[in-house]
Amino acid sequence: MKPGLAGIFVGGAGSRMGGIAKGLLRTGERATIVERLRGILARLDVPVVLVGARDEYAGLGLDVVADDPGGIGPLGGLVALLRRAGDVPALALACDMPFVTSPIVERLLAASHDAPIVAPRRDGRWEPLCARYDAARVIPSALGLARTRDHSLQRLLREVGAVELPLEAHEAEQLRDWDTPEDVTHR
């Protein structure tokens, strides 16, 4: 199933990284993480937007979807992406996962069509920003959660009934993220 829209989440403050725009880091390749993800999505013919407004990404020439509602973390970005996707599936990808591969994205796209959300799990936790969402089915729950004090994407995936995308050990390693400078130096 090809989503109608993929969103690369770039809106985080990156406070543990000194405030830098993590999606503009390079993995040893010439491309930044965002450019690499954009390339994977282009090869799969999936349209892409940036989710979250940060000036550092302005030169990439991608449409930006601002968090809506703002100030509630990634849930605000997800709500905005789901609204933009409308009645077609949406793919959410974090900008700080430099090792995500085309096969993982393809598996997300090909996974069960009946699931409201398909996402991998690592160490007992969902990967909500490497997941496929049925926008129309998930947005009511996401909006309801946005009106509470608990803006947890883990809670959203549990309550909506996400279906796990099983991972091989090497695939789980591909979902490592770069949250601190130490993560980047220990590639």
Give the model confidence (pLDDT) of 104-126 as tens digits. 999 998 887 789 999 999 888 99
46/182: higher pLDDT: 46
Rounded to an integer, what distance in angstroms lies between the CA atom of residue 91 and that of residue 108? Answer: 8
Confidence of residue 74 (pLDDT cuts 50, 70, 90): very high
Confidence of residue 53 (pLDDT cuts 50, 70, 90): confident
Tally of residues, the chain: 187
Task: State the CATH number of the domain containing residue 123.
Answer: 3.90.550.10
Instruction: Tell me which amino acid residue 58 is.
Output: A
pTM: 0.91
pLDDT in tens, 29-43: 788 889 999 999 999
Domain that holds residue 114: 5-185
Residue 167 has pLDDT above 60, yes or no: yes
Mean pLDDT for the stretch of residues 156-182: 84
The domain tally of the chain equals: 1
Residue 143 in 3-state DSSP? helix
Confidence of residue 11 (pLDDT cuts 50, 70, 90): confident
Confidence of residue 19 (pLDDT cuts 50, 70, 90): low
